[in-house]
Amino acid sequence: MAYASTVNHAQLAARLRASRRPFLTTHFKPDGDALGSVLALGRALRALGAQPDIALAGPIDRSILGLAQPGEYRHVERGALVPAEGCDLAVVLDTGAWSQLEHCRDWLRANPSMVVGVDHHARGDDVAPERIVDPSCASCTQALVPLVDELGVPLGPGTRRARHTVAEAMFAGLATDTGWFRFSGADDRVFSLAARLLASGVDKDALFRMIEQGDAPGRPLLTARALSSLRYSCGGRVAVMRLSRADFEATGTRVDDLAGLVNEPMSVAEVEVSVLLVESEPRLSKASFRSKPPALPGGAFVDVNHLAARFDGGGHVHAAGARIAAPLDEAADIVVRACEDYLDAGG
Ligand SMILES: [Mn+2]
């Protein structure tokens, strides 16, 4: 079956309204939109008198932990999570891919009639037979708005600023999935929704501080080391940075502290591709690839999913990753050669 909506908002709202003990989950390693989605819908259903059971699996970045209140969700780092006793509906948000739902895959497969979903990705599997899929939405929380409106739950208290509301969780998903309204997906509808959420009492300044200004003290020191390792190649179009285990030790940082660091060289006009290599074992380097969208509509860009595939990695067109079985400096040479090949081939 094609990955598209199979029900309308009124039909899905009726399923949700009838549930007393809904199980809410999302993809492994939830990001701001995934967490925002389960919290937003969980809060809306709680307002209707239900007892939502929110279950999350995999590491969660500490920058978004404060979106939830203590005890608002259950969490396992790895392993299975089955719905709590009395579960009468399972809601899968921000994904429709079996590969991202290992933590509850067996249960979902065994109970398809109880599974519904809301997603904004273009591709997915038949995880939720009854689902709303809207790839025109920049975040899954945006796709939830018409559903929560259908349920008749207010998004927030109004102009009084309040934390831990439906609106705040929605705003967090919208802001993080659009790079705080900078990415191409941030269109007129996104800005209209942002305005509505702010008018519902979202404290965007508190959220920005919590999500984007929560670095560890060692992070700028690690950034300095990465930048001092920066080498340009391919006429300045490719930037490659390296971080060794010694760099992490000297700055008191961990891999968790890397978020977004690969993007630093993107501020340079000529740079099309940025690669960050991190030594994970003496002979194993982890590569993160990023590329810029085209400078003009329909213009050329580098498909880093394609580049990462050369090393059995993958991801998205503008963000991908791979593991390279070589020491850091050798891995840097290998990556530069792959970029040269790609760009010579007319990319
Ligand atoms: Mn998302």
What's residue 319's pLDDT?
86
Alpha-carbon span 73 to 334, nearest angstrom = 43
Res. 159 pLDDT band, cuts 50 70 90: confident
Q: How far is the CA of 243 from the centre of ligand 1 (A)?
A: 29
d(Cα 119, Cα 95) in Å, to the nearest integer?
A: 6
The rounded Å distance from CA 140 to ligand 1 centre is 5
Instruction: Tell me how far the alpha carbon of residue 2 lies from the centroid of ligand 1, in angstroms.
Output: 19
State the distance from the centre of ligand 1 to the C-alpha of 40, rounded, in angstroms: 13
Q: Give the Å distance between the CA of 149 and the centre of ligand 1.
A: 20
Question: How close is the Cα of 177 to the center of ligand 1, in Å?
Answer: 6
Q: Tokens 């792959």 sit at which residue?
A: 338
pLDDT above 90 (res 345) = no
- How many angstroms is it from 209 CA to the middle of ligand 1? 21
Nearest to 95 by CA among 123, 74, 71: 123
Ion ligand 1: protein residues whose beta carbon lies under 5 Å = 33, 94, 140, 177
* pLDDT score at 347: 53
Mean pLDDT of 323-329: 97
pLDDT tens digits, one per residue of 251-307: 999 998 998 999 999 999 999 999 999 999 999 999 999 999 898 888 999 999 999
Question: What pLDDT score does 139 carry?
Answer: 96
In 3-state terms, the chain is what percent helix, strand and coil (to 5)? 40, 20, 40
CA dist 204 and 146 (Å) reads: 22
The fraction of the chain above a pLDDT of 90, given in percent, is 90
In the predicted model, what is the mean pLDDT of the chain?
A: 96
Quote the pLDDT of residue 90.
98
Instruction: Convert the pLDDT of each residue in 78-112 to its tens digit.
Output: 999 999 999 999 999 999 999 999 999 999 999 99
Six token digits for residue 283: 């002979």
Give me ligand 1 centre to Cα 226, in Å: 29
For residue 152, how far is its CA from the centre of ligand 1 (angstroms)? 24
d(CA 81, CA 75): 8
Query: 82: CA distance to ligand 1 center in Å?
Result: 23
In this structure, how many other beta carbons lie within 10 angstroms of the beta carbon of residue 240?
23
Please tell me the distance between residue 337's alpha carbon and the centre of ligand 1 in angstroms. Answer: 33
Quickly name the fold that domain 219-344 has.
Answer: Diaminopimelate Epimerase; Chain A, domain 1 (3.10.310)
In angstroms, what CA-CA distances link 190 with 25, 147, 174, 197, 229?
24, 16, 8, 10, 38
CA of 136 to the centre of ligand 1 (A): 12
Kindly give the distance from the C-alpha atom of residue 29 to the centroid of ligand 1, in angstroms, as a whole number.
12
Span from the CA of 49 to the centroid of ligand 1 (angstroms): 27
For residue 184, list its beta bridge partners.
Answer: none
Where exactly are the structural domains of the chain?
9-212, 219-344
Angle at 189 between CA 96 and CA 186, to 5 degrees: 70
pLDDT tens track for 28-82: 999 999 999 999 999 999 999 999 999 999 999 999 999 999 999 999 999 999 9
pLDDT of amino acid 157: 94
CA 139 – ligand 1 centroid, Å:
5
Architecture of domain 9-212: Alpha-Beta Complex (3.90)
What's residue 130's pLDDT? 98
Q: How many whole angstroms from 120 Cα to the centroid of ligand 1?
A: 7
